[in-house]
């Protein structure tokens, strides 16, 4: 592990950072030390103090001696006893060994065959790329491929690559709600079932749909011990209690009946459906990039946890309902806060887009690395444009949000493209589309003839819908321009991003992770988890009555080589 002195407060020497620690509670027992300890007030030992605290897999005793308050890694303790012999010191606090696996739910890790409760979310258009999923899976975590916005052919290519390269190593694929293209949602589920995809991340759902229920119930049965087995599992990303309620409930009877009448499921499977939740694991999506309701995690998460507690009796111990947290997970402190609130797992998103494995471009990664928390804004969503749904995007360096808002204003105001004033149409053709709108319509027809021909027929019959499809061309292309790094379209880049990106950049400032080329998803993941464990130790010490300065706790970015000796899970 590299010396940690360099990460003390900028501009101050260790001597200037010295202090006399005060213990604000009572001893909890005695400690018989093996060897000598480290005196907390000795600023010359700051690096040793940091390294000792960083050994999270080892217990740590805090004792009172003639030299002051000391840290001991070795010795024997006794709780509740008074010092009664030489070398037996008052024990002020004891920090047990910390396992990164136990920061969240070890049961979650067991169920999905992963080492630590860390998930990378499914950023659309392949931004959550095959390379991200491969790297995360091989590190013993859970990654989801960003299938939203891609054609069925592109999704199948990604599935083939992942299944070939990862074998039995767990991974998942995204299923995004497509209210305007229900045929595509249905066909995507059909593809998942045909290719044996056993885990999906369901996102942006406003209500349950038949394809989701079909996926969940496929193959449901009882094993030889009578236990209900559900081969297909869903992590449902939600930000509203009414949607969470539906996912935590058994499948709606109307969908089960329809599947039964269509002979897609058997009568026995229909009965078993009454005893399972649609999703056993719910990801609470707070203020995230992309689709979001901008809800604060500190209020939304406890709300969904309370819902979980009310609904758990429906399933007893057969299906423990677990709640994870996404949105704002970007630093050791936010990661630790999520686990402290009871998150079974954490999900990262925006920070992964800035990593070298993402399906985005180098120019976008550079833009994200400069982002601050206020550099985000809401803009119209391509997939739910007509409904007025918005996504959170990067504002700095792009005019996409403003131009997207202009398109939605025109859509709301006029019944057709032809009714838009000529001056407005010319501006659109010159600045946004860079082509006649009729030419864009022909491109749109060609696209939907392959993806969803019903959209073309509806557009030909309904001028308002035709206008929506043409405007959605711009909204959809803007993300692809960003992913390709099209320099001629930089002002039109749609980059999904939440305030987490600014928090990450502030934390990484002055370290090797400040540079986009140094950011990889595995290094980021282990840093967030390890840093969360260090913050947990800080919280434990404060609760025990001992406040230490922040620079005593090594939560700064570290390389994988530096973390390896400190994190047993990295070698598991």
Q: How far apart are CA 133 and CA 21, in angstroms?
A: 45
Please give the structure tokens belonging to residue 222.
């009882």
Low-confidence ranges of the chain (pLDDT < 50): 1-17
Left (φ > 0), alpha (ψ -120 to 50) or beta: where does 554 sit? beta
Q: Six-digit token pair at 471?
A: 């405007």
What pLDDT score was predicted for residue 5? 39
Pairing relation of β-strands 233-238 and 281-285? Answer: parallel
What's the confidence (pLDDT) of residue 84?
Answer: 60
**Confidence (pLDDT) at 3:** 40
- The distance of Cα 196 from the centroid of its chain, to the nearest Å, equals 24
Look at strands 199-203 and 172-176 and give their pairing: parallel
For residues 301 and 88, the answer to whether their CB atoms sit within 8 Å is no
User: Across all residues in the chain, what is the average pLDDT?
Assistant: 92
Place of tokens 């589309």: 433
Q: What's the DSSP call for residue 342?
A: T
* pLDDT value at residue 451: 82
Could you give all domains of the chain from N- to C-terminal order, each with its CATH number? 5-97+517-571 (no CATH), 102-360 (3.20.20.70), 366-494 (no CATH)
Q: State residue 35's pLDDT score.
A: 76
Please, what is the angle between helix 500-508 and helix 332-340, to 10°?
A: 130
Residue 68 — left, alpha, or beta (φ > 0 → left; ψ -120 to 50 → alpha)? left
Q: Is the separation of the CB atoms in 37 and 65 below 8 Å?
A: yes
Phi, psi angle pair for 62, to nearest 5°: -115, 120
**Token duo for residue 47:** 């690096």
Structure tokens of 379? 């803009």
Distance CA 338, CA 283 (A): 12
CA nearest to 210, candidates 177, 244, 173, 172: 177
In angstroms, the CA 26 to CA 29 distance is 9
Burial classification of residue 64, based on how many CB atoms lie within 10 Å of its CB (0-12 exposed, 13-18 middle, 19 or more buried): middle
State residue 293's pLDDT score: 80
Helix or strand (DSSP H, E) at 270: helix 267-272
Q: What angle do CA 500, 503, 508 make, to 5 degrees?
A: 125
State the pTM of this model. Answer: 0.91
State pLDDT tens for residues 30-77.
998 877 889 888 878 889 999 999 999 999 999 998 888 999 988 888
Phi, psi of 317 (to 5 degrees): -95, 0
Nearest CA to 237 out of 152, 154, 122 is that of 122
> What separation in angstroms does the CA of 224 have from each of 270, 320, 571?
19, 21, 36
In angstroms, the CA 446 to CA 438 distance is: 13
Length of the chain: 572
Residue with tokens 């840290």: 71
Is residue 546 helix, strand or coil? strand
Q: For residues 144 and 107, what is the distance between their CA atoms, to the nearest angstrom? A: 19
Question: Which residue in 471, 485, 488 sits closest to 516, CA to CA?
Answer: 485
Question: Both tokens of residue 359?
Answer: 């399906």
The alpha carbon dihedral of 231, 232, 238, 244 has a sign of: negative
Phi, then psi, of 556 in degrees rounded to 5 = -75, 160
Name the CA radius of gyration of the chain, rounded.
Answer: 27
């Amino acid at each position: 592990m590299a010396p940690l002195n360099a990460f003390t407060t900028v501009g101050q020497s260790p001597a200037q950072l010295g202090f006399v620690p005060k213990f604000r509670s009572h001893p909890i027992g005695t400690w018989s030390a093996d060897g000598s300890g480290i005196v907390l007030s000795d600023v010359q030992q700051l690096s040793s103090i940091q390294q000792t605290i960083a050994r999270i897999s080892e217990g740590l005793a805090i004792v009172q001696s003639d030299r002051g308050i000391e840290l001991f890694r070795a010795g024997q303790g006794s709780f509740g006893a008074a010092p009664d012999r030489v070398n037996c010191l008052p024990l002020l606090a004891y920090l047990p060994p910390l396992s990164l696996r136990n920061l969240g739910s070890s049961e979650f890790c067991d169920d999905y065959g992963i080492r630590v409760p860390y998930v990378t979310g499914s950023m659309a258009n392949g931004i959550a790329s095959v390379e991200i999923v491969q790297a995360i899976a091989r590190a013993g975590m859970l990654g989801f491929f960003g299938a939203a916005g891609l054609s069925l052919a592109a999704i199948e290519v990604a599935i083939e690559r992942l299944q070939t390269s990862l074998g039995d190593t767990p991974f998942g694929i995204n299923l995004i709600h497509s209210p305007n293209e229900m045929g595509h949602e249905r066909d995507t589920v059909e593809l998942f079932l045909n290719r044996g995809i056993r885990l999906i991340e369901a996102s942006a759902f406003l209500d349950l749909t038949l394809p989701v229920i079909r996926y969940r119930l496929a193959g449901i049965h009882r094993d030889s011990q009578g236990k209900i087995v559900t081969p297909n599992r869903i992590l449902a990303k939600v930000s509203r209690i009414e949607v969470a309620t539906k996912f935590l409930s058994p499948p709606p009877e109307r969908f089960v009946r329809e599947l039964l009448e269509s002979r897609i499921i058997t009568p026995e499977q229909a009965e078993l459906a009454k005893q399972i939740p649609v999703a056993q694991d719910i990801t609470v999506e707070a203020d995230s990039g992309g689709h979001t309701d901008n809800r604060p995690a500190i209020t939304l998460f406890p709300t969904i946890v309370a819902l979980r507690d009310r609904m758990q009796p429906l399933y007893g111990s057969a299906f423990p309902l677990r709640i994870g947290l996404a949105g704002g997970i970007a630093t050791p402190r936010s990661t630790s806060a999520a686990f402290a609130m009871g998150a079974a797992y954490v999900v990262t998103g925006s920070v992964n887009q800035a990593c070298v494995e993402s399906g985005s471009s180098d120019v976008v990664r550079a833009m994200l690395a400069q982002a601050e928390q206020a550099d985000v804004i809401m803009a119209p969503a391509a997939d739910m444009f007509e409904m007025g749904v918005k996504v959170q995007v990067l504002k700095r360096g792009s005019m996409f949000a403003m131009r997207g808002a202009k398109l939605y204003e025109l859509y709301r105001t006029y019944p057709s493209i032809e009714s838009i004033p000529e001056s407005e149409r010319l501006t659109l053709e010159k600045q946004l589309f860079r082509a006649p709108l009729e030419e864009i319509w022909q491109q749109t027809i060609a696209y939907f003839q392959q993806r969803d021909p019903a959209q073309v027929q509806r557009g030909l019959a309904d001028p308002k819908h035709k206008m929506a499809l043409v405007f959605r061309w711009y909204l959809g292309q803007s993300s692809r321009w960003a992913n390709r790094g099209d320099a001629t379209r930089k002002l039109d880049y749609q980059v999904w991003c939440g305030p987490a990106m600014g928090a990450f950049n502030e934390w990484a400032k002055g370290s090797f992770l400040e540079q986009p080329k140094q950011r990889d998803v595995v290094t980021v993941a282990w840093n967030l988890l390890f840093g969360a464990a260090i913050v947990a130790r800080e919280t434990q010490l404060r609760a025990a009555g001992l406040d230490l300065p922040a620079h005593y706790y090594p939560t700064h970015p570290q390389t994988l080589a530096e973390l390896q000796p400190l994190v047993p899970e990295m070698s598991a």
